[in-house]
Amino acid sequence: MRLAAVAAVLAVAAVLVGLAFAGSPAELPTGARIAGVDVGGLDEHDAVAKLEREYATVAARPVRFTAAGRTFSYSASQLGVEPDWRAAVGTAADAGSGVGPIRGLRRLFARVVGVDVVPDSTSSSSAVDYAVATVAADVDRAPRSAALVRHGLRGVASIALRRPASSCERSDRSSERTRGRSFP
């Protein structure tokens, strides 16, 4: 009997806490962030508008990529990156949805733990292909095959500095210039 009374009190407390934090179903839960932007307390339309404004300020800002000691800069707008803000806002809204006390408990959880949503994005495949081709043209180089050369009891790990011979070609390995490191 005593256990039933404690369980009933806890259930009533959970319902009251849930109702206290239920808030409006039209607003995103406090603690909701999308792509690092706080959208808690906004309705879905205002959240999408805020995210689009924030994105417009950074879309033209170039991001630096470094490959083989060379730096390349591309902006999200150059690569045709388009985040799906509506879907991301819908995901954030789902984190604080539900009926009455259930919504309140989910929103309390979102307030305490936070809801971080990363939006799905699309990009222009031709723009990305062009950027990758540009980088590749500047940093790609012909492959060099590693070799193990024995000199008596000592071995030298080396890298051949000319194109490796194919199975149909004969190669005079003693004439290849190599550089390497000795090991016992």
Q: Of the ranges 48-52, 109-113, 133-137, 160-164, which one carries the lowest mean pLDDT score? A: 160-164
Indicate the SS3 state at residue 149: strand
Cβ neighbors of 102 (< 8 A, separation 6 or more) are 18
Tokens representing 109? 């959880």
Written as one letter, the residue type at 35 is A
Q: Which residue ranges make up each domain of the chain?
A: 26-98+111-139, 146-183
| Closest of 82, 81, 83, 87 to residue 44, by C-alpha | 87
Instruction: State the Cα–Cα distance between residues 111 and 51, nearest whole angstrom.
Output: 20
The pLDDT of residue 180:
46
Indicate the SS3 state at residue 8: helix
Beta bridge partners of 148: 157
Q: pLDDT averaged over the chain? A: 77
Task: Calculate the CA 57 to chain-centre distance.
Answer: 20
Angle at CA of residue 25, ends 21 and 29, nearest 5°: 55
Tens digits of residue pLDDT in 1-35: 888 877 777 777 766 666 556 566 678 888 889 99
